A = this chain, B = another copy of it.
Amino acid sequence: MAVRITLKDVARASGVSPTTVSFVLNNTPRQTIPEGTRRRVHQAATELGYLPHSIARALREGTSRVVLLTTGRWRGGQSLDSFIAGVSGELRARGHNLVVHYGEQSDESLAELLEAVSPRAVIDLAGADLGQEGSDWTDGLAPATAAQLRHLVDRGHTAIALALPSGDFGALVEIRLAQSQRAAHALGIPPVTPVMVGQSRAEAREAMRWLRHEHPQITAVAGFDDDTALLAMGALSDAGVAIPATMAVIGFDDARPGAIWTPSLTSVHIDAEAYGRRAACAALGVEPEDWTSDPSYIVLREST
């Protein structure tokens, strides 16, 4: 850090001009440079420990080699973590870096950050493109949604409620509901019954009371996420409903609290890494190569 090694230094050390060094290190097409020179340049670069100064490069190129990912209010879950890991890994393999901005998209700090970083691309998990249902992020959730319902159907349930949170999850709530209905149709069961469980234990109790009164045939609750499922499960416990005997509960996106609850919460583990990699490629405008994704799987615990 003390002294910065520049292109010039490498040029001097290898006895060519900075231009040539740049050509060699960037493998610039339509430049014919003999193998001998290439080797000398590479050797000098590694010996001096040359690292291109990304700010200078960004000035020249118009954008930095950084991609910005905004998540909106959404924070939790393995799926987001693995998605981010996928994006980050793929970007780094392609010489880029990821900056994640947790927080609302309307936030002023986002605009300032955008200005400060001049990212090559922005992946917005909260914004409008998410509503399109064509995004890599929501695509990744579809098979997991199907797995969630399939698990309940396998255990003999056909009348199923979908517990949804209130609050600022944006379009995600509608998307998950739509995906669930599609999955229900494919599984040959009636449409799921959406129920808003609210934010507090009291609201959840009210919601569960309503559900059991209006839809007594329902024997299982699928959660929008683990938080929502736990809220519903707690409310059912409060009402003396036996879990899973009378009502089964399954979460989504296996978060930590579900494992230590009583009863512990069955959930769907989602590995969105591949979807993250795909999103990264899309952001850079490249064709993704490896294109297999680890399937999501059921984490079987006591609640189903």
Enumerate chain B residues within 8 angstroms of A238, measured Cβ to Cβ.
Answer: 262
Which of B54, B227, B262 interacts with A234 by CB under 8 Å?
Answer: B262
Q: Is A109 positioned at the interface, with any CB of B under 8 Å from its CB?
A: yes
Enumerate chain B residues within 8 angstroms of A118, measured Cβ to Cβ.
Answer: 54-55
Rounded to whole Å, the gap between the CB of A104 and the closest CB of chain B is 12
B100:A113 contact, CB within 8 angstroms: no
Of A15-23, A57-65, A124-132, the stretch lying at the interface with chain B is A57-65
Interface of A is mostly: helix
Q: Is A210 positioned at the interface, with any CB of B under 8 Å from its CB?
A: no
Query: Interface 1/0s, chain A 222-249, versus B by CB < 8 A?
Result: 0000010011001001100000000000
Q: Is A267 positioned at the interface, with any CB of B under 8 Å from its CB?
A: no
A259:B227 contact, CB within 8 angstroms: no
Q: Is A97 positioned at the interface, with any CB of B under 8 Å from its CB?
A: yes
A64:B257 contact, CB within 8 angstroms: no
Query: Interface 1/0s, chain A 187-218, versus B by CB < 8 A?
Result: 00000000000001100100000000000000
Query: Interface 1/0s, chain A 95-121, versus B by CB < 8 A?
Result: 001111010000011001101111000
A201:B65 contact, CB within 8 angstroms: no
Rounded to whole Å, the gap between the CB of A37 and the closest CB of chain B is 27
Residues of A within 8 A of B (CB): 51, 53-56, 58-59, 64-66, 88, 92, 97-100, 102, 108-109, 112-113, 115-118, 200-201, 204, 227, 230-231, 234, 237-238, 256-257, 259-262, 264
Of the A-B pairs whose beta carbons lie under 8 Å apart in the complex, a sample of 26, sorted by A's number, is A54-B117, A55-B64, A55-B118, A59-B59, A64-B116, A64-B117, A65-B116, A66-B116, A88-B109, A92-B109, A97-B109, A97-B116, A97-B117, A98-B109, A98-B113, A100-B100, A200-B259, A200-B260, A201-B259, A201-B260, A227-B257, A230-B260, A231-B260, A237-B262, A257-B257, A261-B261
Query: Which are the 7 A-B pairs with shortest beta-carbon distances?
Result: A257-B257, A97-B116, A55-B58, A54-B116, A55-B59, A97-B113, A59-B59
Given contacts A54-B116, A100-B100, A234-B261, 18 further A-B contacts (CB under 8 A): A54-B115, A55-B58, A55-B118, A64-B116, A64-B117, A65-B116, A92-B112, A97-B113, A99-B113, A100-B102, A117-B117, A201-B259, A201-B264, A204-B260, A227-B257, A230-B260, A237-B262, A261-B261
